[in-house]
Structure formats: C-alpha cells, structure tokens
Amino acid sequence: MEKVIVCKFGGSSLSNSDQFRTVKEIMEADERRRVLVPSAPGKSQDEKHKVTDLLLMCYQLASHNLLFDEIYNLVRGRFIQIRDDLGLTLKIEEELDAVREAIAAGASSDYCASRGEYLCGKLLADYMGFRFVDAEEVIRLRGGKADVKASSRLIREHIVEGESVVVPGFYGLNEKGDLQTLSRGGSDITGAIMAAGVKAVVYENWTDVSGFLAADPTIVEDSAPIKTITYNELRELSYMGAMVLHEEAIFPVRDLNIPIHIKNTNAPQDVGTAIVPDWRAEERTQVVTGISGKKDYTVIRVEKTHMSEDLSFYRKLLSVFETNDIPIEHMPTSIDTISIVVATSLIKAREKKIREEISIYCNPERIVFEHDLAIVAVVGRGMISTKGTSATLFTALAEDGINVRMISQGSSEMNIIVGVSNEDFEAAIRAIHDKFMRS
Ligand code: ASP
C-alpha cells in the first residue's frame, strides 16, 4: 500500500495568503503528504478574528432577524483577498453568495460554523491542484462524536489510492444525515479520522507552536520542548489543561498505532513533538515528561469511623455527586476519611445543598469543604521504573517551602497528582520543573 501522510493545518497556519504559500511549500516538500485537512482561517497579526467566530456571529444575528452583512462581508473579504493574492481564478464569490443565502434562509448554526473550513478547503484544493472532497461525503458523527468506523469505510470508498485530496475539517454528517460540527478545535479530530481511514504512516498536525512544552511557558520561562510523548501521557497532561491538540484527536489513531507529529508551520525545521503509542516507551530517557495543572478546586473531606465496613457508603457518597452532575476529579482515601476533589466553579453555589445531601444519605461524622486547591499533575512513563521519583518530587516542593495538601498517585504510576494551595501553584510547577528537567 502507498505511504500517505495526513496533514492538518490549524487556523493560524491559514490566516492569510502568505500562510497558504507556506502550507504549499510544506506539502510539496514530501510527496507522501497527500491528504490535507484545513481549519478555517484564524487569527494573525493583521487579522483580529477567526472566520469561525465571524460565521457564528452571522448565524446569531440572522437567527434574531437582524442584518448580518456587516459581519459577513469580513468573511467574504478574507476569502476574496486570499484568492486574489494567490492569483487564483476560482469563482469563490459564487460559493460565498450561496453561503450568504443559506444563512439568510435560516441555516443551522452548525452549517454556518462549518463554512469557514469548507471555503478554505475549496481555495486550497484549487491552489494545490488537489481534489476537493467534502467532509459530508466521508466524515460521519454518531452521538456528536466521530464515528471512525463509518467514516473509514467512506474514506476508502471515496478516495482512490495515490490521489491527493483536501478534506475540510470540523464537520461531517450525523446519524440523521444532517450536517453537524465537532466541538471547537475539531479539525484536529477530522485529521485523525482521515489518518485512520487512509491508514497513514503519520498524522502531522501543523500549528503555531513547535510542539508541547514540558510546562506552561507563562510559568516556566524556558521550558524544554517534549520530543516524544505517549498517547497516555498526553491524555494525562491535556486533561489538566495543556491543550495544543484536541483531546479527542487521539482516539481514532491510537488503536492503529499511527503516530501524531505536532509541527510548527512557521518553523518546519523544528523537530516538534511526536505522540507515539506505548510500544516505543523504552526509548524514553527522561523520568518526567511534563507537568501541568489547574487552579480552583475544592476538596470535600468526609469523615466517618469504619467507613469501609459500611458497604454502601462509597456508592451513596458518589451518587450525591452523580445526581448533581458534578464530575469528580480525584478521590484520595484513608481509613476513616475520603476526600472528593471537584472543580470549585461547579460546587460553589451548591455547597449547602451538597453538604445536606451527604449528611442525609451517608450520615458521616464530619464534612469539611476546603477551597483554593490547585492540582499539579506530574506525568512520565519513566516514573514507573525510577526509584526515588516521589522522594525527589516532594523534596523539591519542601525545599521551596511549598506545603503539600493532597497526594494522589494513579496505579499506572504514570502520574503523581499533588494538591497545593492556589497561591503556591506556579511556584510548585517551577520547583518540580527545575528539579527534574534542569538537573
Ligand atoms: N474552526 C474551528 C474552530 O475555530 C475548528 C478548528 O479550527 O479546528 O474551532
């Protein structure tokens, strides 16, 4: 079978005609790059807004019977400008008029939002000399999520081996046959579905950074780039807020062992980050891969002597959170105490109610709410086999005078979660980063 690389380019990589030129150079530098998945043009130095946001604004105005041309003309202007700058002859005005008419006639918000990718795909296909394949033909959603199986079947039916195609990101058809968008940033998912469908050798995700950094650069100034990370490590890190790639983009390719490369469109020579399946874990030399975290959690500490002897206790306690639709982030336990960690924003206004319900249902001796907890996730598959990792971690925090309020280690031993006060959050990340990444 032919070797294919699927390339997804993000909105900032397609924000103007110069970026289109760069994209073409990148695509032509490797003949295996034959499937191109674009986002809608995004922000740049000169462009203040993402096309998707402009289109959603058009929808909002139109759905309230208000005039939307002022905004739509911004969208129009951007596509025409790119077409003219590149010297293309494609009659994009006809497409633009048809979209305008559809919005005026009451098209759905998903349809409106998707047109940025559609129009961008049309221009790119013309510019690259690739065939345009509408996402409606090959991308299927079920229950709002990617239906990889159904999509892969259609991809194999519609795309001939060896041909070069542009498939717009971010949308497809749902089980009812209606156009539906994926969640925001969803072109990453389309790229992954396409990679799965054509069994790509690699899925390249081109964006405006040279991959993942080991820690948030606004906290750690010269944080090291991560060269390789496993799918699982990335899950742990992105869940905690280190988003460069849409987290759902991992699933379509993971089972097929297709690596994802995060690359910088404006610095293609940079290595970027390779997201690889676990089987390459032995290549790992570093103990910690990355550190991420989030502020503003609440710990609800529930105390009851001999709680583990009451077989229904945990079920009852958890059902209070389940029935209030509050997701639990972590749940460290000791003999007579269980701590439930939840996002403060989800519990703040309902504190009294939750306290009452736990009291009625679980009859504990004490319930304590503690706010202002920050969670730091230290992730790395090297941690499993390296003795003294926890000792080093906690020494680093103690040396910098940071009090640890909570500890939770997953049984996979791939992550250690540390709870510190909100005000110690940045210092904790710096202390851990400096200990593991600089020494
Ligand atoms: N254009 C869409 C958004 O702004 C999808 C994407 O860029 O991936 O969310």
- HSE toward the beta carbon, residue 73, CA cutoff 13 A: 4
Asked, for residue 67, whether it belongs to a domain, the answer is: yes
Residue range 362-378, pLDDT digits in tens: 999 999 999 999 999 99
Q: Taking Cα atoms as reference points, which of 153, 228, 264 lies closest to residue 382?
A: 228
> 53 C-alpha vs ligand 1 centroid, how far in Å?
9
The verdict on 180 and 47 lying in the same domain is yes
Q: What is the extent of the structural domain holding 386?
A: 290-437
Q: Are 390 and 416 in contact (CB under 8 A)?
A: yes
Residue 170 CA, closest ligand 1 atom number? 5
- Residue 224 is predicted with a pLDDT of 81
- Residue 281 is predicted with a pLDDT of 52
Give the range with max mean pLDDT: 76-85, 400-409, 430-439. 76-85
Mutate to test the pocket of ligand 1, among 110, 112, 187, 189 (most ligand atoms within 8 A of CB): 187
Domain boundary pick from 250, 278, 306: 278
Residue range 382-395, pLDDT digits in tens: 777 788 888 999 99
Residue range 264-309, pLDDT digits in tens: 999 999 999 999 987 555 565 678 889 999 999 999 999 999 888 8
Pairwise CA distance, residues 234 & 248, whole Å: 11
> 273 C-alpha vs ligand 1 centroid, how far in Å?
21
The arithmetic mean of pLDDT across residues 82-109, rounded, is: 97
Buried b vs exposed e over 104-129: b needs ≥16 C-beta within 10 Å?
A: eeebbbbbbbbbbbbbbbbbbbbbbe
- Residue 426 is predicted with a pLDDT of 96
Burial (CB < 10 A; 0-12, 13-18, 19+), residue 79, is: buried
The arithmetic mean of pLDDT across residues 190-194, rounded, is: 98
> 249 C-alpha vs ligand 1 centroid, how far in Å?
13
The verdict on 110 and 25 lying in the same domain is yes
- Residue 1 is predicted with a pLDDT of 61
- Computed on alpha carbons and rounded to an integer, the radius of gyration of the chain in Å comes to 25
Residues whose CB is less than 8 angstroms from the CB of residue 25 and which lie 6 or more positions away in sequence, other chains included: none
Q: Most distant CA pair in the chain: distance in Å?
A: 77
The verdict on 257 and 380 lying in the same domain is no
Residue 398 CB neighbours (<10 A) = 12
Mutate to test the pocket of ligand 1, among 57, 170, 171, 246 (most ligand atoms within 8 A of CB): 170
Asked, for residue 285, whether it belongs to a domain, the answer is: no
Buried b vs exposed e over 181-196: b needs ≥16 C-beta within 10 Å?
A: bbeebbbbbbbbbbbb
The verdict on 274 and 294 lying in the same domain is no
Domain boundary pick from 252, 278, 304: 278
SS3 of residue 421 by DSSP: strand
Which residue in the block uniquely carries the two structure tokens 């009859």? 363
The verdict on 189 and 145 lying in the same domain is yes
Q: Which of 86-100, 186-200, 207-221, 225-239 has the lowest mean pLDDT?
A: 225-239
- Residue 439 is predicted with a pLDDT of 64
The verdict on 110 and 255 lying in the same domain is yes
Q: What are the pocket residues of ligand 1 if the criterion is a CB atom closer than 6 Å to any ligand atom?
A: 11, 39-40, 50, 52, 116, 169-170, 184-188
Residue 185 CA, closest ligand 1 atom number? 8
- Residue 217 is predicted with a pLDDT of 86
> 290 C-alpha vs ligand 1 centroid, how far in Å?
26
Q: Quote the mean pLDDT of the chain.
A: 93
- Residue 279 is predicted with a pLDDT of 59
Asked, for residue 365, whether it belongs to a domain, the answer is: yes
Residue 188 CA, closest ligand 1 atom number? 8
The single-letter code of the amino acid at 239 is Y
Pairwise CA distance, residues 303 & 306, whole Å: 9
Strand 337-343 to 366-379 pairing: unpaired
Residue range 200-228, pLDDT digits in tens: 999 999 999 999 889 988 899 888 889 99
Label each residue of 74-122 as H, E or C.
HHHHHHHHHHHHCCCCCCHHHHHHHHHHHHHCCCCHHHHHHHHHHHHHH
Asked, for residue 176, whether it belongs to a domain, the answer is: yes
Asked, for residue 28, whether it belongs to a domain, the answer is: yes
- Residue 247 is predicted with a pLDDT of 84
User: Is residue 44's pLDDT more than 90?
Assistant: no
User: Is residue 132's pLDDT more than 60?
Assistant: yes
Asked, for residue 38, whether it belongs to a domain, the answer is: yes
> 115 C-alpha vs ligand 1 centroid, how far in Å?
11
> 329 C-alpha vs ligand 1 centroid, how far in Å?
27
Q: Are 344 and 329 in contact (CB under 8 A)?
A: no
The verdict on 55 and 196 lying in the same domain is yes
Number of H helices, E strands in the chain: 15, 17
Give residue 75's pLDDT band: very low, low, confident or very high (50, 70, 90): very high
Please name the residue whose Cα sits nearest to atom 8 of ligand 1.
185
Please name the residue whose Cα sits nearest to atom 5 of ligand 1.
185
Q: Taking Cα atoms as reference points, which of 234, 270, 226 lies closest to residue 250?
A: 234
- Residue 414 is predicted with a pLDDT of 82
What the block records as the tokens of 67 is 């005039």
Residue 182 CA, closest ligand 1 atom number? 5
The CATH code of the domain that includes 190 is: 3.40.1160.10
The single-letter code of the amino acid at 393 is L
Strand 165-166 to 33-38 pairing: parallel
Cα-flanking dihedrals φ and ψ of residue 29, to 5°?
-75, -15
Asked, for residue 403, whether it belongs to a domain, the answer is: yes
Please name the residue whose Cα sits nearest to atom 6 of ligand 1.
185
> 180 C-alpha vs ligand 1 centroid, how far in Å?
13
The arithmetic mean of pLDDT across residues 126-141, rounded, is: 98
- Residue 40 is predicted with a pLDDT of 98
Give residue 241's pLDDT band: very low, low, confident or very high (50, 70, 90): low
Give the range with max mean pLDDT: 112-126, 212-226, 230-244, 280-294. 112-126
- Residue 283 is predicted with a pLDDT of 60
Give residue 413's pLDDT band: very low, low, confident or very high (50, 70, 90): low
SS3 of residue 156 by DSSP: helix
pLDDT above 90 as % of the chain: 78
The arithmetic mean of pLDDT across residues 244-256, rounded, is: 91
Mutate to test the pocket of ligand 1, among 13, 55, 75, 184 (most ligand atoms within 8 A of CB): 184
Burial (CB < 10 A; 0-12, 13-18, 19+), residue 400, is: middle
Pairwise CA distance, residues 101 & 95, whole Å: 10
Asked, for residue 283, whether it belongs to a domain, the answer is: no
The verdict on 140 and 67 lying in the same domain is yes
Domain boundary pick from 249, 278, 307: 278
Give residue 244's pLDDT band: very low, low, confident or very high (50, 70, 90): confident
The verdict on 255 and 112 lying in the same domain is yes
The verdict on 421 and 388 lying in the same domain is yes
What the block records as the tokens of 82 is 């790119």
pLDDT above 70 as % of the chain: 96
Pairwise CA distance, residues 250 & 192, whole Å: 7
Work out how many domains the chain is built from and give that number.
2
> 377 C-alpha vs ligand 1 centroid, how far in Å?
27
The verdict on 107 and 35 lying in the same domain is yes
Pairwise CA distance, residues 10 & 161, whole Å: 25
The verdict on 355 and 408 lying in the same domain is yes
The CATH code of the domain that includes 423 is: 3.30.2130.10
Give the range with max mean pLDDT: 66-75, 216-225, 310-319. 66-75
> 286 C-alpha vs ligand 1 centroid, how far in Å?
34
